[in-house]
Structure 1
Amino acid sequence: MTHEHSLSGPLDDPASDAGHADHPPRVGFFTDTSLCIGCKACEVACKEWNGVPEDGLDLLGMSFDNTGRLDANSWRHVAFVEQERPLGRQDAGLSALPTGPSGAHGRDGLPAGGPRHAGGDAGKPGDTPVDLGLPSFGLPGAAAGAESRQDFRWLMSSDVCKHCTHAGCLDVCPTGALFRTEFGTVVVQPDICNGCGYCVSGCPYGVIDRRADDGRAWKCTLCYDRLRDGLEPACAKACPTDSIQFGPLDELRERAAERLEQLHGAGVAEARLYGHDPDDGVGGDGAFFLLLDEPEVYGLPPDPVVPTRDLPAMWKCAGMAASALLAASTAAFLGWGRRR
């Protein structure tokens, strides 16, 4: 059985802990949900590049979310959360802030998230399609400013495997089908997986799933084949708003902290980071998020803990108990022998 000894080795260097002596910097995802527009380009790119089967169109009877959750055939899941609460500063506060990998602008050199006038100039925060001379397509609220659209707001977020620092799925896999790459990510080898399902229960996020047709486990690989060729993952490449940002994990954490400060400064007090803390129950995530509400709203556990975190201490206690029992049994046997 191949185990990753979660609590030995460097706290935030899982590649070294897994035996990669000379390896590149740990990489991962920073998903800024304040920039997500729910286009699902990441879902499509993931399926196309990795050959993930199409699993039907089901709007779930309540939203535009046709995937519902992460599973064996959905390695990326764009959540649509509709809330009956005021927009507050969501429109004006987020669109005016500089974002993107550069920390300053979006892909087209304009403030990311900000609309553009017909002439190409960046629009003002709160500008509507009608204000910009664009068609409204008859959408509710399209002809009204942000101040008049106070009935609800949508929160959107592209979820993915977290590639945990302390990965419970790795600890419980009996065949070595799961392994830690030199980039610090976690990958399933389907040709080795025997479909036991231990990894499914070992994941604190409910990410891993088995396909009904073959029983094997599948999940995001963070496009390991692309990483080895020096390319970014397909989902990050396809994201039009830089909501999904890829790079060295240390750099992403710095960028996320700056973005959080920007949002708080703009009055978006509910903004928070999730999965960035190396001292949490999984040792920090290789894919972490900036959220605009509580984690539970997005379907994320508030305090995830890797199920195998306490295994070393448990085995130590079991060993001590067994030794004590053996010593007591030996003493009893020797005492009985002397009495004979």
Structure 2
Amino acid sequence: MAEPMGFFTDPTVCIGCKACEVACKQWNQLPALDDKRSTLSGDSYDNTRKLDGTHWRHVKFVEQFSDDRRDGRWTMLSDVCKHCVNAACLEVCPTNAIIRTEFDTVVIQSDTCNGCKACIGACPFGVIDINPVSNTAQKCTLCYDRLQVGMEPACSQACPTDSIVFGPIWQLRQRAGRRVEQLQAAGETRARLYGADDTMLGGLNAFFLLVDKPEVYGLPPDPKMPSRNLQPGGWLTALGALVVGLVSLFNFRERGAREGKDD
């Protein structure tokens, strides 16, 4: 297996140019904006609104102002699939359309997807959606086709400020750690990493530097695998009920057969 690869995204140097969105669409031949998304959403300068089956990169515009509007901060964050080490979408897929690649990334194979949408509900980050052209679930592939030939993903290559950095996960973690220390030394005490270690879904292969709570960026503070939302022992209870039902059915059929013979 190749070395695990991924993204480190630092919103403190993002300028909101959306070059990553454009590069992603161009390389992956995704449809351009429809009529609904050709205008601003009303949420700052955002027109693409969210990640879905045709938008695999989404630049979020986060505006924060004091009550008197004199002080404010404007942060942009380029969001993407997290390529979780423990991926909820992969766990629930009934057709094995979702695979883990040799780069430890998560890819949906459209030719195997049946469009059941199980992965959409399972993803704690709201990343996946149906592509209306293919009628299959789609999301960022971390440019798997480019990685296979030694190329950098289109979005990070297009980023003019290195807000999106691509590379081996261990190198990205080192770089991210140094950046957090730099920001904290400069007075940004809230600087922290999101998903850089294995405490969050085994680790995110696309992790972020944040300077506020995750909710401010539209990120869940404690994402969970779908199986962890079940009651302890719930699957054992269901299995027991199934066994009891099968035994009852077998006994009923046996009793009916015996009564038929007696007649």
Given the alignment, which residue of 8, 23, 37 partners 1:45? Answer: 23
Deviation of 1:321 after TM superposition, in Å, equals: 7.4
Deviation of 1:85 after TM superposition, in Å, equals: 3.5
Letter in 2 for 1:294: K
Deviation of 1:78 after TM superposition, in Å, equals: 0.2
**Shift in CA distance, 196/322, structure 1 to aligned 2, threshold 3 Å:** closer
1:274 corresponds in structure 2 to 194
Counterparts of 1:41-190 in structure 2, within 5 Å, are 41-56=19-34, 57-85=38-66, 150-190=70-110
Contact 1:208/1:218 (<8 A) preserved: yes
Q: Measure the CA separation in 2 of the matches of 1:301 and 1:158.
A: 16
Given the alignment, which residue of 167, 179, 198 partners 1:247? Answer: 167
Determine whether 1:224 maps to 2:202. no
Q: Measure the CA separation in 2 of the matches of 1:321 and 1:71.
A: 38
The structure whose residues are more often helix, as a share, is 2
RMSD over aligned CA atoms reads 2.3
Q: Percent identity?
A: 59
Deviation of 1:293 after TM superposition, in Å, equals: 1.1
1:28 corresponds in structure 2 to 6
Contact 1:46/1:75 (<8 A) preserved: yes
**Which structure 1 segments of 5+ residues have no match?**
1-22, 87-148, 330-340
Letter in 2 for 1:49: W
TM-score (norm 2): 0.85
**Which structure 2 segments of 5+ residues have no match?**
249-263
Q: Measure the CA separation in 2 of the matches of 1:266 and 1:85.
A: 21
**Shift in CA distance, 214/322, structure 1 to aligned 2, threshold 3 Å:** closer
Contact 2:9/2:164 (<8 A) preserved: yes
Given the alignment, which residue of 206, 218, 221 partners 1:299? Answer: 218
Q: Measure the CA separation in 1 of the matches of 2:100 and 2:233.
A: 23
2:258 corresponds in structure 1 to none
Deviation of 1:65 after TM superposition, in Å, equals: 0.8
1:205 corresponds in structure 2 to 125
